Homo-oligomer: A and B are copies of this chain.
Amino acid sequence: MKRSPSQAARPRYAVVAQTLIDDILSGRYAVGTALPTEHALCKQFDISRHTAREAIRRLQALGLVTRRAGVGTIVHTDHIAQRYMQVGDTVADLYQYAQDMAINVLDVSDIEADDDTATLLGCPEGQTWARLQGLRGMDPDALPMALTDVYIAQDYRGVLGDIEGSGLPIWSLIEARYGVIPSEVRQQITAVTLGHDDAVKLRATPGESALRITRHYLSDPTGTYEVAINLYPAGRFSYSNTLRIDPTAPLP
């Protein structure tokens, strides 16, 4: 298959996929109806079945179509834009959280990333990060709600002294001092079992269940620059949020 040098080296399946996506979004293939069969696409675009399947696989990944043997490829929605807007996880909520759950610093240290830590932080092994451990709670005398481990890239360790008592999220302290804004925050929530040391610090029972929320703060070129791990014993906290319909989005 000769391709003229001026022609962009775009895979054929990508061209076909984009064409189909455009057709779905423009209403040429209505929601609930079937897309052309693989065989039809082969003839229409003069491609092999393999290429047709690769193209449709992209539509599938976008949730635009569903496929079933014996039935066909059915258009399921004609808009890729998300219909649900996430609320309850906005910047304002994060500020509220930080103010309510002031941090009580237990320990500050420098660590050299070993194997596990490098994986967690997404950084080369041996790199040095600052680490802060503390308890979060509304009232210093009451049971703490969470055990917090925060890892901060070496460049921004200057915020360490500002954390306690500020009532501000750490990323906002970094922003204020260094002008670095997270372009993205990746959040992961898992269930874990409390180990002995963590349980003692939290005045909880070893073996008890706990919620672990890990947040990676990424800035655009440099990647991860802060990682916060919060450990909440079961019953002291539950994460909740609400998805709402985006009123501006078209209905299927």
Give the B-binding residues of A (Cβ under 8 A). 31, 61-63, 66, 76-77, 80-84, 86, 88-96, 99, 119, 167-168, 172, 175, 181-193, 207-211, 232-234, 237-246, 249, 251-252
Contact = CB atoms under 8 A, between A and B. Distances in A.
Given A61-B96, A242-B185, A119 B210 contact: no
B185 A31 contact: no
B239 A188 contact: yes
Contacts of A239: 188-190
Counted per complex, copies of this chain come to 2
B241 A187 contact: yes
A103 to B, nearest CB: 15
A243 B188 contact: no
Contact of A249 (B88, B92, B185, B241): B92
Contact of A188 (B182, B192, B240, B245): B240
